[in-house]
Amino acid sequence: MEIVLKQKIREALSSLYNAKVDDNHIQLQETRKDFPGDFTLVVFPLLRFSKNTPEQTGESIGNYLTDNFPLISGFNVIKGFLNLEVSYKWWIEYFSALCGEKDYFRNCRIANPEVILVEYSSPNTNKPLHLGHIRNNLLGFSLNRILASCGHKVIKTSIVNDRGIHICKSMLAWLKFGNNETPESAGIKGDHLVGKYYVKYEQEYKLQVDELIKNGMGEAEARSSAPLLKEAREMLLRWESNDRETMELWKMMNSWVYAGFDETYRMLGVDFDRVYYESETYLAGKEIVLKGLRDNILYRQEDNSIWVDLTSMGLDHKLLLRSDGTAVYITQDLGTAVERFNEFGFDKTIYVVGNEQNYHFQVLGALMKKMGYPWAGGLIHFSYGMVELPEGRMKSREGIIVDADDLIREMHDTAREVSLELGKLSDYSEPEKEEIFRKIGLGALKYFMLKVDPHRNMTFNPAESIDFNGNTGPFIQYTYARIRSLFRKAEQMGIYPDKKALLTARPGQKEIELIKLFRKFSDVVSQAASELSPALVANYCYDLSKEYNQFYHDFSILGEENMELRDFRIYLSEVAGDLILNGMWLLGIEMPERM
């Protein structure tokens, strides 16, 4: 409609003012809800052609369109804005075509798709996944589906941070205090066991620091002189030297963590096409750094450490290799980026990483441009806000975290409790009930995380997220289940709608309002892809569910005596359900057929 409307507006300007106007001057947007109309033309850029007031220009264009374009049924002018009303006939024909289409993403697909890597999760192997990882994974997985629905080739990737001083801290603590404990002997997941020893390290390290301070040492010196830290640094050097015993311990503990991560990902419903490991890519990064040194792009300090000077790019000096030759975090990012480009030849890599790493990714982009990689401009940091609980921030070093596994189980249990209170699943078997509870609990968690603008910090409230009323996942799931129930009842009643009703029925304004909302689906998905915002899709699903529920409450569907109108409303319900299902799929949310 927008393309045709712009063409008609160009015709109007040519006829009225003998002006040839390109699309840049024709600004069309949705009409605000507080004014009548469907599309609004911004008149101000056209005054140079009309040589008239905004009001008179709008009136002239509006009259021309209603006289020469039957699909425009009326208009009104508010100052410099021409609000155009699309005819009833067009909406009916649009809906009829939509019912026959069924490919709801067709209009989202772009002409020149790209190869896009989306990196998310990126956990450390010294602790289990927590609440922050949940938001990260859900954002990354949803971005993948949204971008792919618009035609892009998307590769879901993760980088596992499986090396470094923090990993050695867990390993050292297990050696000192573990007594050969394993996930099997402890009866807990491997990632939880390793995380337990990371916390143990921090506890023992703090005791050593406090003791040194008590004996007269300054705090900064005490923190760097604690025996445990020295041992962890020595272990890192042994690891980078490929010491056999150190490597065997590292492989064993990492295998525990990977098994734990895989179970959490399965419960959360996310996956990856390609997983990279820092223990492998940092070597490529070191080679890149050494080449940059040989090419005089980088410089060496007196202590033998290697740095880059980014002050000409508005940044600072950045350490790339320590004086002992060990790599820092950005070293592996260099290696990973180059390996990915060699493997996939991507147009973009989107790093789904929290906003506390904003400066890091500024440095990475600047560093790679300085080192001469022409594709460095395709490295995009998707900077999202932190997530907290009502009680405040998490502290993983102190063991004060919201564990992902525990939260998923809690949401499942809460869904069970709330659903049983409603008492609508009495004729389902226990396994069937549990599957519905799982979908509701995860739906509540995912929707609450994704409905918020990703760039904002957020507070996750489990009790609020599972409310069956309001802007929640269960409310949208319940709407979909209600639509599916309607179709089960129609089948029981022997009602099979006739598609002729799509063009012969005379629906009212409420039905037209729903159809208008249907038309926005592809625009919302396209906007979500261009702005990298699953929140747009989430809130569209809520708006559509809310509008449909109001329609369902106010109008009879299966009980409507006019069969043509009844059938029209059945098809209306079908498309509403399909769009809700597709929209929630983009968010990674499963939809129960009954609740």
State the pLDDT at residue 34.
85
φ, ψ (nearest 5 deg) of residue 45: -65, -15
- Whether this model's pTM surpasses 0.75: yes
pLDDT tens digits, 430-442: 999 999 999 999 9
Query: CA 36 → CA 3, 40, 69, 307, distances in Å?
Result: 21, 10, 19, 61
* pLDDT of residue 399 exceeding 90: no
* pLDDT of residue 397 exceeding 50: no
Instruction: Show me where the domains of the chain are located.
Output: 2-86, 120-398, 413-586
Return the number of other C-beta atoms located less than 10 Å from residue 360's C-beta. Answer: 16
Span 123-148, mean pLDDT?
96
Sheet architecture: strand order including 379-384: 274-277, 153-160, 115-119, 348-354, 379-384
pLDDT tens digits, 400-413: 578 999 999 999 99
- CATH code at 413-586: 1.10.730.10
pLDDT tens digits, 291-323: 999 999 999 999 999 999 999 999 999 999 999
How does DSSP assign 137-197, residue by residue?
A: HHHHHHHHHHHHHTT-EEEEEEEEB--SHHHHHHHHHHHHH-TT--HHHHTS-HHHHHHHH
What fold does the segment set 2-86 form as a domain?
Answer: Gyrase A; domain 2 (3.30.1360)
* Rounded Cα–Cα distance for residues 311 and 314 (Å): 5
Helix (H) or strand (E) holding 523: helix 509-531
**pLDDT band per the 50, 70, 90 thresholds, residue 396:** very low
Per this entry, what is the length of the chain?
Answer: 595
pLDDT tens digits, 148-189: 999 999 999 999 999 989 999 999 999 999 999 999 999 999
The sign one gets for the Cα dihedral 58, 60, 63, 67 is: negative
Mean pLDDT of the chain: 94
Token pair listed for 323: 């004086």
Span 263-288, mean pLDDT?
96
* Listed range (433-442, 454-463, 522-531) with the worst mean pLDDT: 454-463
Span 233-256, mean pLDDT?
95
In the chain, pLDDT over 70 holds for what percent of residues?
98
Span 210-232, mean pLDDT?
96
* pLDDT of residue 398 exceeding 70: no
State the pLDDT at residue 298.
97
State the pLDDT at residue 394.
43
- CATH among 3.40.50.150, 3.90.1150.10, 3.40.50.620, 3.40.50.2000 for 120-398: 3.40.50.620
State the pLDDT at residue 480.
98
State the pLDDT at residue 400.
55
Specify the 3-state DSSP secondary structure of 51: coil
